[in-house]
């Protein structure tokens, strides 16, 4: 399947790329993406414009995000949204990260973050 090849070729995602991808689950422009990533990560991941727009270009090129109409009518503020392939890759990454965390907790005999 083509999607399996996309997953194999483009995962694992970097932390920044993962946050950018999930940030555009709904259409969002660049500045909004930077703020959402900062909020989602509790301020730990802060993207500069160069990192953000390089990642957006790459994600768009490989088909995980696409340009979106945010209803603003502005061509200057380009919005982006996740594609179906992007959602599949994000879901794969979530499963992979959960497996890693679960195995780590099991091997170190520790509970969850709140456990």
Output the domain CATH number for residue 87: 1.10.10.10
Does 36 fall in a domain? yes
- What are the distances in angstroms from CA 86 to CA 28, 48, 49, 111? 15, 22, 21, 31
Is 72 contained in some domain? yes
54 domain residue, yes or no:
yes
pLDDT value of residue 88: 94
User: Is 79 in a helix, a strand, or coil?
Assistant: strand
In a domain, 114, yes or no: no
Structure tokens at 42: 């509790």
Do the domain assignments include residue 39?
yes
CB 113 within 8 A of CB 102: no
Spans in the chain with pLDDT lower than 70: 1-2, 70-76, 112-115
Question: Is residue 115 assigned to a domain?
Answer: no
Residue 25 within any structural domain of the chain: yes
Residue 61 structural domain: 2-108
Q: What is the dihedral of CA 35, 77, 82, 85, to 10 degrees?
A: -130
pLDDT given at position 5: 82
Domain count within the chain: 1
Report which secondary-structure segment, H or E, holds 56.
helix 49-61
**pTM confidence score:** 0.87
């Amino acid at each position: 399947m083509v999607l399996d090849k996309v997953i194999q070729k483009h995962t694992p995602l970097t932390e920044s790329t993962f946050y950018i991808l999930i940030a555009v689950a709904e259409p969002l422009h660049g500045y909004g993406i930077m703020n959402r990533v900062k909020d989602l990560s509790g301020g730990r991941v802060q993207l500069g414009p160069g990192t953000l727009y390089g990642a957006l270009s790459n994600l768009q090129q490989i088909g995980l995000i696409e340009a979106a109409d945010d209803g603003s009518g502005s061509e200057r503020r380009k919005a982006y949204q996740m594609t179906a392939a992007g959602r599949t890759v994000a879901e794969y990454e979530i499963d992979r990260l959960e497996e890693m965390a679960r195995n780590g907790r099991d091997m170190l005999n520790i509970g969850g973050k709140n456990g």
